[in-house]
Structure 1
Amino acid sequence: MYRDLFFAELYAHKWMVIRLSVMVLFFICLAGLSVYLMEPESFPTIPDGMWWAFVTITTVGYGDLVPVTQGGRLIAVLLMLTGIALFSFFLANASVLSVVAKEELQQGKGYMKSAPALLIIGWNERTHYVIQHAKQRPIVIIDDTLSALQQSSPSIRYIRGNPCLDDTLLRANIKEAAKVIITANLHIAHNIADATSILTLISIKALHPKAFVVVEVISSAQEIHAVRAGADQVIVLSSKIGEYLTESLL
């Protein structure tokens, strides 16, 4: 997942990467050709010169090919001053892209390429409980309130966005999701929370009709609407809470 996002970052900055790569290659070719023309005895072929230039830029040198004339050594000094600095700049930019990719992964700005075994809509205590006890992996979480998801497990992926929108669901690879859990948002009005859950269900079923979807609704009156929208299983929170309260009195 991180690898996919890293390569996506490379693709997004492809022109910068191409320019830097061309510049590094140009310096290697120029230095290799120059040292070949300057010292044909020490560097019998142009590939030998290019090999020496590449080794000089990337390492301290193997010592198998060494310039012996003043002109050849001058080329080596110029190559060290410019080529090594350019190659270091190239590596530094690659490191920056790696850090950016990791941050965007935590902030939910990426996409899911592999098939999610479990897709959970909403981040809350119930979601946290499911993650701890569910055996399915990988797990994808969709939420539009978290700035970043700090999870140490590489099998848990966060996608930030509105779960009602096709774009967000497609970024989570909804078409290959095996199971989906839609949790109710308890921080907004109950009727709006249930309407949002059902709308999310409709969007999911439109993109992936065969997905097994569990929907959490707050009001028992919305259970029939969730079933009509295609829910495979409906959990009514008000009924569950009532059952727990009744059991506590027995």
Structure 2
Amino acid sequence: MNKIKEQTSFLFKFLHWPLIARILILIFIINSIFGAIIHTIEPEEFPNWFDGFWWTIVTTATLGYGDFVPVTVLGRSIAIILILVGTGFVSTYFVTLAASAIATQNNYLEGKVDYRGSEHIIVIGWNERVRETLRQINSMSSKPLSMVLIDQSLQKNPLHDQNVHFIKGNPSYDQTLLAANIKQAAFVVISADQSKNEVQADMNSVLTLLTVKGLNSEVYTIVEILTSQQVKNAWRAGADEVVQTNMFTSYVMINSMMSNGMSETLLNMLDQLKGSKLKFLDVDHSLIGETFEKVSNILLQEKTLLIGIKRRGDTMVNPPLLTLIQKDDCLLVIRD
């Protein structure tokens, strides 16, 4: 009774194996049996079992090398049965294999496959700003970076040929972020949803930020906020950086009104500063207590241009030359 139960249990498990594995095992079993039979019937033509097994493999695969051929009527009858039975299984195996490959490729394109890498960049939301952001990331990196795009409106990966893994789903749901392997991500960039009005877009961004920080409190997050009223909520939700795109746009427009052609100049300047040229530096111990002017001259000798100071969250661009450098300051510089 126990033996019957064990056999039934094994059969049940076998039926739940992947289809390709089941077909491959059946092919091996059938060819092994027919290999043993042909070796028994024609031992002179098939000196051992492996020769018989080899003959069954090339026969069912329709290769037919002809190095082993049955010569008796019974042997050829066995060959006919093998061709009728075995070839069907082999053909089914290759068809299933091809179908599985196509299905896997489609799943990748449609964002249904979980991401398994680590130290990657997760970009949430899709718009032209995101497209340009991903292009810039790829262009300024000397080695390919792993990037994951999360969006629920896209039907397929728009950047499948640019080392971008796509996850389709609502970014405020745990299962979507877990599919993007949020727990091992290095950065998360949250873009405002352009299909919603500004207030709703900011509420969604803050909710997504809360979900991200709930799953991985250590990941560095950059969130785009459109309305000034939601900036504090973004900081409260744990944002490491808040980008107020509407404020940036208004600054560019005002400067263009005051000085015609300034918008193009600003864009060119930002394009030249992309990557690692514009950065914050921790203050060296030897520079504490020195004036902004003196520190600027010291850094110029190192081909580094000092343009400002970040102090307790506030950034001073081109401060008075006699401003003293303090211990916890960060120096805003431009360097190659």
3-state SS of 1:14 partner: coil
Whether the 8 Å contact between 2:62 and 2:87 is mirrored in structure 1 is no
Task: State the 1:152 CA deviation.
Answer: 4.2
Select 2:84's aligned residue among 76, 81, 85. Answer: 81
Match for residue 128 of structure 1? 131
Q: Is the 8 A contact 2:109 2:160 kept in 1?
A: no
Q: 2:149 aligns with which of 131, 141, 150?
A: 141
**Of the candidates 52, 58, 74, which is equivalent to residue 49 of structure 1?**
52
What's the C-alpha RMSD, in Å, of the aligned pairs?
Answer: 1.7
- Which entry has the higher C-alpha Rg, 1 or 2? 2
Distance in 2 of aligned mates of 1:215 and 1:187:
17
Query: Take 1:98 and 1:14, find their aligned partners in 2: how far apart are those partners?
Result: 17
Pair 1:167-2:175 in alignment? yes
Please state whether the residue corresponding to 1:114 is helix, strand or coil. Answer: coil
Alpha-carbon distance between aligned partners in 2 of 1:60 and 1:54, rounded to the nearest angstrom = 9
Per the alignment, residue 9 of structure 1 pairs with: none
Instruction: With a CA cutoff of 8 Å and minimum separation of 6, indicate the structure with the bigger relative contact order.
Output: 1
Paired residues of 1:116 and 1:173 also in contact (CA < 8 A): no
Corresponding residue SS for 2:167: strand
Partners of 2:124 and 2:150 within 8 A in 1:
yes
Report the Cα distance in structure 1 between the residues aligned to 2:119 and 2:52, rounded to whole angstroms: 50
> Which of 164, 180, 183 matches 2:188?
180
Partner of 1:107: 110
What stretches of structure 2 of length at least 5 have no aligned partner? Answer: 1-15, 259-336
**Take 2:229 and 2:63, find their aligned partners in 1: how far apart are those partners?**
74
Residue pair 1:120, 1:142 contacting (<8 A) in 2 also = yes
Matched pairs, number: 238
Distance 1:23 1:154 in 2: 40
| Residue 8 of structure 1: aligned partner | none
Q: Which residue identity is paired with 2:122? A: L
% same residue: 34
SS at match of 2:67: coil
Which shifted more, 20-29 or 170-179?
20-29
Tell me how far 1:206 sits from its aligned partner. Answer: 1.5
Cα distance in 2 for residues equivalent to 1:58 and 1:93: 15
One-letter identity of the residue aligned with 1:100: A
Task: Kindly provide the amino acid, as one letter, of the partner of residue 252 in structure 2.
Answer: Y
Q: Give the AA of the match of 1:221.
A: Q
Corresponding residue of 1:62: 65
Contact 1:116 1:140 in 2 (8 A): no
* Distance in 1, Cα, partners of 2:250 & 2:18: 60
Contact 1:107 1:147 in 2 (8 A): yes
Larger helix proportion, structure 1 or 2?
A: 1
Where in structure 1 are there 5+ consecutive unaligned residues? 1-12
- For 1:1-34, what per-residue CA distance to the aligned partner results, in whole angstroms no more than 9, with x for missing partners? xxxxxxxxxxxx8342343223212320221121
Cα shift at 1:201: 0.8
Q: Report which stretch shifted further, 38-47 or 118-127.
A: 38-47
Amino acid at match of 2:70: P
TM score, norm. by length of structure 1: 0.89
Q: Distance in 2 between matches of 1:163 and 1:199?
A: 9
Using the alignment, how far apart are the partners of 1:124 and 1:184 within structure 2?
A: 9
- 1:37 Cα shift? 1.4
Q: Is the 8 A contact 1:220 1:238 kept in 2?
A: no
Question: Which amino acid letter does the alignment assign opposite residue 77 of structure 1?
Answer: I
For 2:218 and 2:146, the matched residues in 1 are separated by: 19
Give 2:257's aligned residue.
249
Shift of 1:42: 1.6
Work out the CA distance in 2 between the residues paired with 1:59 and 1:101: 28
**4+ runs deviating over 4 angstroms:** none
Q: Which amino acid aligns with 1:227?
A: W
TM-score by length of structure 2 reads 0.67
Is 1:216 the counterpart of 2:224? The answer is: yes
